[in-house]
Amino acid sequence: MAGEGIALPPRRKNPKEQAQARGLAQEYNATKPTEIAKRKGLLQKIFGFCGPSVWIEPPLTVAMGKTVKIGKGSVIGAGTVVTKDIPAMSLAVGVPAKVLRPITDADKVEY
């Protein structure tokens, strides 16, 4: 669904593609929080699609395997392992990821 979030790539057996995805993740992890356009571009290269307002806090690790969707406007905490879909406008953290709470209008004002 275009515009809904990002989807992790399906399992790839090509070692060259896996190495490229890991390299892009390392490049993403080296970005500064102010480099929003660069981060978005890297997520686009890694996942093929990056929805509006998705924020993934580094470090990002890409493991080929299960396809999951991260909903529009969601925030993924540092070191979180996403193993299932994350609904839109949610804060998710942990290993494995758990939705902590929805993101509200009050969060938008504060941050």
> Which tens digit of pLDDT belongs to each residue from 44-71?
887 766 667 788 888 888 776 667 788 8
CA distance 71 to 7: 9
Domain total of the chain: 1
Q: Which pLDDT tens digit goes with each residue over 7-22?
A: 455 555 677 877 888 8
Residue 94 pLDDT greater than 80, yes or no: yes
97 touches 83 (CB < 8 A) = yes
Does residue 2 have a pLDDT over 60? Answer: no
Q: What is the pTM of this model?
A: 0.68
With vertex at residue 24, the alpha carbon angle to CA 22 and CA 30, rounded to the nearest 5 degrees, is 105
Residue 25: which region, alpha, beta or left (left: phi > 0; alpha: psi -120 to 50)? alpha
Query: How many Å apart are CA 17 and CA 101, to the nearest integer?
Result: 34
CATH code, domain carrying 97: 2.160.10
Instruction: Give residue 85's domain range.
Output: 5-110
